[in-house]
């Protein structure tokens, strides 16, 4: 399922990455969520591929679009490709192999390459990382401490979604997190594919950049996780700290301070350390951010073997972009 809004050039790349899949038995439900650019033209370009089904709505919201897709989809598995990301050619093939090998699993996700500054800057997670699999608590899906997934990299059994219910439409940013929480809480097992099978693009127009709104939405997956009060409070504090850090990194220290002053979290040592960071003048933060960007733009900082791997993937996907 692919909701999209006003990202025609990146959407075209995403569609192309679907067409080069080595496993071809899939359907694409693409939904124009109130675009004001050339998105309809992109839809027309791919209309001859009968696996693609296109729908146009006024501005509706990601979660509502996904619920529409649930109502018309026919597949046994529900996969997600954000309109600004790409799948590598074996993405679906490898997911199907994993699902066939462990039929009791209801949620799969893979690694991905991270694209920033017009190149691959790393992997989403270390392939050697210890990651729990099988039956895990639902709250493991909150944050990246336990299950390092993002929407583009995940797949959920359709019968699991049918059992736990549709996406929460008042949570456009964290609706996918809440869905995974509910699937795991219902007892479905999870598995990880450590191979990078997608390219996740980081850019300045991502919906998930609204970190204050994401914190407000965090109440939904936290409620679905059915945690004891102490554990819920700890996760809520983690969400708040992460939101403040992103605001500071996003050159919004004033918003970070206001957020911290109003967030319902303890004013402990970690809180005051973060608040002090939010007192850093914006020009200083901007200079630090520019220095980091310049460092990353210079070229690979990975070991030579990994740099060669990244370069090969860049050569593969750049024509699609």
Residue 19 domain-assigned (yes or no): yes
| Same domain for 155 and 27 | yes
Domain end (from 201, 235, 254): 201
Q: How many domains does the chain have?
A: 2
| Same domain for 123 and 30 | yes
Residue 257 domain-assigned (yes or no): yes
Residue 89 domain-assigned (yes or no): yes
Residue 305 domain-assigned (yes or no): no
| Same domain for 156 and 216 | no
| Same domain for 47 and 70 | yes
| Same domain for 158 and 112 | yes
Q: Is the pTM of this model over 0.95?
A: no
| Same domain for 120 and 14 | yes
| Same domain for 155 and 14 | yes
pLDDT at 118: 87
What pLDDT tens digit does each residue of the chain (321 aa) get? 999 999 999 999 999 999 999 999 999 999 999 999 999 999 999 999 999 999 999 999 999 999 999 999 999 999 999 999 999 999 999 999 999 999 999 999 999 999 988 889 899 999 999 999 999 999 999 988 899 999 999 999 999 999 999 999 988 889 999 999 999 999 999 999 999 999 999 876 655 567 888 889 999 999 999 998 988 998 999 889 999 999 999 899 999 999 999 998 999 999 999 999 999 999 999 999 888 888 877 765 566 667 889 999 999 999 998
Q: What is the CATH number of the domain that holds 14?
A: 3.90.550.10
Residue 251 domain-assigned (yes or no): yes
Q: Which residue has the tokens 């980081």?
A: 202
| Range 222-241 burial, b when 16+ CB lie within 10 A, else e | bebbebeeeebeebbbebbb
Residue 138 exposure: Cα atoms within 13 Å on the Cβ side: 24
| Same domain for 132 and 32 | yes
| Same domain for 283 and 137 | no
| Same domain for 237 and 122 | no
| Same domain for 232 and 148 | no
Residue 318 domain-assigned (yes or no): no
Token digits of residue 150: 């993002």
Domain end (from 201, 232, 259): 201
pLDDT at 205: 62
Please give the residue range of the domain that contains residue 189.
2-201
Residue 313 domain-assigned (yes or no): no
pLDDT at 305: 67
| Same domain for 35 and 156 | yes
Query: ∠ CA 190-184-4 to the nearest 5 degrees?
Result: 85
The backbone torsions φ and ψ at residue 92, rounded to the nearest 5 degrees and listed phi first, read: -70, -35
The beta strand positions in 235-307, using DSSP E, are none
């Amino acid at each position: 399922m692919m909701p999209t809004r006003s990202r025609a050039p990146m959407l075209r790349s995403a569609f192309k990455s679907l067409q080069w899949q080595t496993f071809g038995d899939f359907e694409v439900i693409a939904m124009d969520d109130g675009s004001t650019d050339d998105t309809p033209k992109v839809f027309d370009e791919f209309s001859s591929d009968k696996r693609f089904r296109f729908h146009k709505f006024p501005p509706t919201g990601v979660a509502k679009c996904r619920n529409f897709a649930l109502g018309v989809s026919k597949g046994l598995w529900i996969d997600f490709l954000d309109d600004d990301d790409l799948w590598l050619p074996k993405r679906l093939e490898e997911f199907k192999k994993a699902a066939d090998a462990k039929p009791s699993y209801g949620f799969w996700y893979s690694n991905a390459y991270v694209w920033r500054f017009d190149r691959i800057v790393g992997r989403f997670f270390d392939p050697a990382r210890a990651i729990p699999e099988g039956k895990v608590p639902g709250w493991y899906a909150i944050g990246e401490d336990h299950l390092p997934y993002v929407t583009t990299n995940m797949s959920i059994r359709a019968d699991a979604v049918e059992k736990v219910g549709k996406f929460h439409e008042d949570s456009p940013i964290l609706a996918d997190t809440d869905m995974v929480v509910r699937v795991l809480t219902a007892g479905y097992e999870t598995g990880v594919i450590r191979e990078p099978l997608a390219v996740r693009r980081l850019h300045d127009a991502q919906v998930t950049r609204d970190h204050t709104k994401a914190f407000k939405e965090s109440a939904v997956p936290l409620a679905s996780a059915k945690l004891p009060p102490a554990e819920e409070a700890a996760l809520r504090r983690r969400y708040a700290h992460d939101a403040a850090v992103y605001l500071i990194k996003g050159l919004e220290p004033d918003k970070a301070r206001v957020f911290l002053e109003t967030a319902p979290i303890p004013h402990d040592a970690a809180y005051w350390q973060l608040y002090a960071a939010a007192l850093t003048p914006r020009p200083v933060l901007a200079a630090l951010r520019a220095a980091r960007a310049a460092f990353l733009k210079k070229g690979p900082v990975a070991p030579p073997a990994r740099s060669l791997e990244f370069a090969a993937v860049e050569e593969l996907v750049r024509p699609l972009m």
